[in-house]
Structure 1
């Protein structure tokens, strides 16, 4: 029996079965205000995406721009055959001249009739007829003037111009095609500076952040959070953006709150439709702890850490052991030696959290601190994505 007991003690892990306490490294945590950031998957859009359509029906004579290159507002993009509209203008101007002649004649007749009617030479009815003829001719002239204006507008519409500046897409119709008015798309123009980033915030996370803001557990900078866009591999593409808005309702199809940010894109690195990582930074969490990522473990009841504390067992009086503490982890932060967790609940100031030697211990295992408690957990951290 003694031999059997000795064998078990010699083969047990450090700290168990009578072995020496496991050597561990710890950090001593203190409450502090930590910068945090949030990161989401998004897709870019042009700040303005305009469909270019003709306003008149006709034969497309010419494309006047280079596809895929920048265009200026007012620049001619397409030419539509103007001859039918020139003919319509000539006809409208002829009708206008005829109506002007009728109005002039009605005016002269009315001027002759008035003194005669005053003197009783002609009847009141004849004068009224002359007055009505004058008024009808005046109204006909207004209609004729409107038709001339419309004909001139239609001639102008045969020159399809860019409504905004931006990058012009490919032509949807080739020369010689019949364009049947506004129902036919000719091309699109996209403004890429600034550029928009559209992303979705999960419903549960959005509700949690809003609750933290109300309870002052999360603080925003006076000018709002800044936005940075990164490629899929983490390469920064643009920064200095601002969050524009978040939708007031949850998208039932995705379970997210649609949000939109705007960023400068003078160098054109960001293309519309590109999938990106959207990082929101500038927020802070007051009175929270931080620990290295490797110190936080996952168990059946959620996340927990090991802290060094005196044993509460009489037979181990005076010994220090690894004690489990459930924690509520928040966002990630950048520490000098890697990623770290923001610990929102579960730790007390001065707790010594075990960060190394975790594979050699279990709940209640005797431990010995291999070095003085590190102060890294109370050093300022850089914000990292959630």
Structure 2
């Protein structure tokens, strides 16, 4: 047992030196990485159990630090690149137009000309009021117009007859003036009769209550035989579903972060804020049509801390419905001069994210932990298919070799590593 304690103590001291040398290689003061250093010490203590077990399985000639086989890993050399930047936000759908159908004139509903929930076309009659009173009014105003036109013709003939007689002084000037005034009054009467006829024809047209847009009809609110006094009574609703409207909120914090990155040249935003929009459905699939942001409210909602955005998306097959909850993916921006690391290579210490770098040690390559600040996820096409990756804001530099595979065989920071497929040279040398 005393031999085991001495072995444990010697290994702790060795691990401490490796960890300290790892952070010294980074070039940052120990105080700056206090939390990460504490994490590494904890990780070292936990890994001692596996290390001692491994030592127990080694031959007497291969015992100790020098006898441990290096972990086979794969690395990726960091190079700055431009990657797409996207935002995914919760959103709700609504019709691009939601119209209340009301009768413009009073009357008794004679028929309903649609089925609830069916598609309706612009100009299609949805309800028909009793047309007879309106047809009678049209006929009466037509007769009034004919009478006014006849009076106008009579007044014109009087003026035509009296004009030469006045030149001969056969009639007085007053008689001619009266005739001309009568003609002007007759002209006004004709215009008034024409306006009344137009109003009667409009009422007859309004009695055939029509849909102002293409869309889907809602349920009827009033049935046949009901008297409606005019526009005060709602008959039904028509919702235009093509295109459909998406409304969602963007937090003030996200807006400030994007604005700051754009000012620093780290982010390129779409021109005039016209983000491309894709709709992610509840099952994770994407809707086939892509829309565009066409409205952004300048006000911040005091209750939610967000400003409202709106996008329009084609919906020719009416697959999307108002009130549907979806997620909207905003595309069209890009990150500039950034590093990207596969998600599997980014580990969590409980106090922050870190990756392992393949760095030079005293006896070869070692796994050196490097704290990183991660950003958003990105999806990239690789030779093996689509790869999910993290955007790294801080912690890496060009040329760093990030270990992307084989982390499961790294039991402690500073452990010897070798590239997969290469034979470790003098793995047991001291």
The normalised TM-score by structure 2 is 0.72
Check the 8 A contact 1:243/1:260 in 2, yes or no.
Answer: yes
Q: Separation in 1 of the partners of 2:128 and 2:160?
A: 50
Deviations 1:177-230 (A, max 9, x none): 222323333222223233232222222212322343444423468997543212
Q: Separation in 1 of the partners of 2:210 and 2:365?
A: 84
Match in the other structure for 2:181: 132
Larger radius of gyration: 2
Q: Separation in 2 of the partners of 1:105 and 1:46?
A: 58
Match in the other structure for 1:333: 379
Report whether the alignment pairs 1:78 with 2:124: no
**What SS class does the counterpart of residue 316 from structure 2 fall into?**
coil
Check the 8 A contact 2:82/2:338 in 1, yes or no.
Answer: yes
Match in the other structure for 1:14: 47
Match of 1:173 among 209, 222, 226: 222
Report whether the alignment pairs 1:196 with 2:242: no
Match in the other structure for 1:30: 78
Is 60-69 or 278-287 further displaced after alignment?
Answer: 278-287
Check the 8 A contact 1:58/1:179 in 2, yes or no.
Answer: yes
The number of residues matched between the two structures is 366
Q: Separation in 1 of the partners of 2:130 and 2:399?
A: 83
Check the 8 A contact 1:24/1:354 in 2, yes or no.
Answer: no
Check the 8 A contact 1:246/1:259 in 2, yes or no.
Answer: yes
Is 340-349 or 320-329 further displaced after alignment?
Answer: 320-329
Check the 8 A contact 1:53/1:187 in 2, yes or no.
Answer: yes
The higher relative CO (CA closer than 8 Å, separation ≥ 6) is in 1
Check the 8 A contact 1:247/1:259 in 2, yes or no.
Answer: yes
Check the 8 A contact 1:15/1:367 in 2, yes or no.
Answer: no
| Structure 1 residues 133 and 298: CA distance shift in structure 2, 3 A | farther
**What SS class does the counterpart of residue 287 from structure 2 fall into?**
strand
The normalised TM-score by structure 1 is 0.80
| Structure 1 residues 77 and 169: CA distance shift in structure 2, 3 A | same
Report whether the alignment pairs 1:368 with 2:416: yes
Report whether the alignment pairs 1:143 with 2:174: no
Match of 2:321 among 245, 248, 271: 271
Match of 1:342 among 391, 410, 413: 391
Deviations 1:22-77 (A, max 9, x none): 95856434123333432111112233333322221111111011111112222221
Check the 8 A contact 1:305/1:353 in 2, yes or no.
Answer: yes
Is 116-125 or 327-336 further displaced after alignment?
Answer: 327-336
Across the aligned residues of Structure 1 and Structure 2, the Cα RMSD in angstroms comes to: 3.6
**What SS class does the counterpart of residue 136 from structure 2 fall into?**
helix
Equivalent runs, 1:1-386 vs 2, <5 Å: 5-6=5-6, 8-9=8-9, 12-14=45-47, 20=65, 25=73, 27-31=75-79, 32-219=81-268, 226-294=276-344, 295-297=346-348, 303-307=353-357, 309=359, 320=366, 322-333=368-379, 339-353=388-402, 356-357=407-408, 360-361=411-412, 365-369=413-417, 371-372=419-420
Between Structure 1 and Structure 2, the one with more helix by share is 2
| Structure 1 residues 307 and 119: CA distance shift in structure 2, 3 A | same
**What SS class does the counterpart of residue 341 from structure 1 fall into?**
strand
Is 220-229 or 163-172 further displaced after alignment?
Answer: 220-229
Aligned-pair distance for 1:152? 1.2
Q: Separation in 2 of the partners of 1:123 and 1:98?
A: 29
| Structure 1 residues 272 and 76: CA distance shift in structure 2, 3 A | same
Check the 8 A contact 2:357/2:403 in 1, yes or no.
Answer: yes
